[in-house]
Amino acid sequence: MVSFCLQISVPSEHREKEFAMEHGSATDSSSSTFSLMDEDHTLANSVRYTLNQDPRVIFCGYSIPHPSENKVNIRVQTTGDPAKDVLKDGFQNLMVMCQHVRSTFGKAVDDFRANESPERMKIDTP
């Protein structure tokens, strides 16, 4: 068993995270398990979904070792590409998807506000 450390930089408005790669083989970089600290099902399931859309991925799954631990293990097996590169690409794709959802939602809110009268937007309070 070989342990590595993988640093992934994200935009400045987000905190920088460190992901530890565990159970990686020194000779086969196509299968690795990554540990994400201070994360839960929200990110893990999104990453799993994104990676399973990648044709280079044979298997991607995640587990939370114990409910009281804020730790997620993500297992990635690829067709031959280094698992850490595929994971990085998956995070980038997930960020692009989230940015698209955010901008689409923002545009829909702006359109709604522009087309609705202020009286209809008021919320009745008891």
pLDDT in tens, 106-122: 999 999 888 877 666 66
**In the chain, where the domains are located:** 2-116
pLDDT of residue 1: 44
Q: What mean pLDDT is predicted for residues 2-10? A: 51
CA distances from 120 to 107, 116, 117 (A): 19, 7, 6
Return the pLDDT at 26: 75
CATH code for 2-116?
A: 3.30.1360.10
Q: Is the pLDDT of residue 12 over 50?
A: no
Which residues on neighbouring strands pair with residue 62, listed in sequence order?
74
pLDDT of residue 124: 60
Name the residue with tokens 């408005």: 13
Mean pLDDT of all residues in 19-38: 80
| pTM of the complete model | 0.75
Comparing C-alpha atoms, which of 62, 51, 39 is closest to residue 90? 51
Residue-level pLDDT at 2? 45
Judged by DSSP in three states, 105 sits in helix
Higher pLDDT pick, 5 / 102: 102
**For the chain, percent helix, then strand, then coil, each to nearest 5?**
40, 30, 30
What are the structure tokens assigned to 111, written together?
Answer: 């359109």
Q: Is 83 exposed, middle or buried (0-12, 13-18, 19+ CB in 10 A)?
A: buried
Which whole number is the average pLDDT over 31-37?
Answer: 90
Contacts of residue 7, defined as CB under 8 A and 6 or more positions apart, other chains included, come to 16, 18, 19
Mean pLDDT value of segment 17-23: 61
For the stretch 36-80, pLDDT in tens is: 888 999 999 999 999 999 999 999 999 999 999 889 999 999 999
